[in-house]
Amino acid sequence: MELVTTGEFYRAVAGSFLRIGSGFALGLLSGELLALLALWLQPVRVLLRPLMSVIRSIPVASFVILALIMVGSRQLALLISFLMVLPVIYTNTLTGLLSADGELLEVAEIFGVSRARRLLYIYFPAAAAHISAGMTIALGLCWKSGVAAEVIGLTAGSLGRKLYDSKINLNISELFAYTVVIVAVSWGFEKLVQLAFSRLRRRFEGVVPWQQR
């Protein structure tokens, strides 16, 4: 209750939300686009498989230190969040796309359904559950790693910097308070993303694509 009366608190929350949220959005968009390319182009799928494995395998601390050298502390959380989200979204989305009903795709081919409509009304409903699960995992990872990056990089105007300052000053009550704030903001962000995705999912499920030409 003491923290919410200070402007510094809101600047820290807004700064972390903007950086980590932007990293998640970029990772989500990039993962989806790369999964689509991998679906249509076999060479892309082959080339991306080892790259995604490497990104998943490298420890977050190593990423943070390397990124701190390359981009500095200001955009560190954005980059780390992006790298944590990208392989999860890519792998889950590609798995879902490849699980689309082959017979339904053959019928769509016979009826001359465009690739865009097949993507929206056949591939997307097939991949929706995988994408939703991937986003849930990615959201948790991006907030954990993003705040950790802010702590290591001592990013000004961030929740991670507030955690570090609380530790340095041995202010345990403030440390717990900011931890609760991080959990609450992460939870709220996850609910907003899942709500938006659920509405998008309902828009395309149960629609026969060749009746929409």
Q: How far is the C-alpha of 199 from the C-alpha of 206, rounded, in Å?
A: 13
Dihedral angle over CA of 37, 40, 41, 42, nearest 10: 120
Instruction: Please indicate, yes or no, if residue 191 is contained in any of the structural domains.
Output: yes
Beta carbons of 116 and 59 less than 8 angstroms apart:
no
Residue 4 belongs to some domain of the structure: no
Give the CATH number of the domain where residue 101 resides: 1.10.3720.10
| d(C-alpha 179, C-alpha 172), whole Å | 11
Q: Which domain holds residue 73?
A: 9-211
Question: How far apart are alpha carbons 191 and 99 in whole angstroms?
Answer: 26
Residue position matching structure tokens 């465009």:
114
pLDDT tens readout for residues 26-58: 999 999 999 999 998 989 999 999 999 988 888
**Can you tell me the mean pLDDT for 14-31?**
94
Residue 164 lies in a domain: yes
Q: Is residue 96 part of a domain?
A: yes
- Asked if the structure places residue 147 within a domain, the reply is yes
Domain for residue 1, yes or no?
no
The answer as to whether 63 is a domain residue is yes
Give the C-alpha separation, 45 to 206, whole Å.
29
Token output for 76: 């560190």
Is 130 among the domain residues? yes
What's the total number of domains in the chain?
1
Reported as a single tens digit per residue, the pLDDT across 114-171 is 888 888 888 888 889 999 999 999 998 899 899 999 998 888 889 999 999 998 888 8
Please state whether the predicted TM-score (pTM) of the whole model is above 0.85.
yes
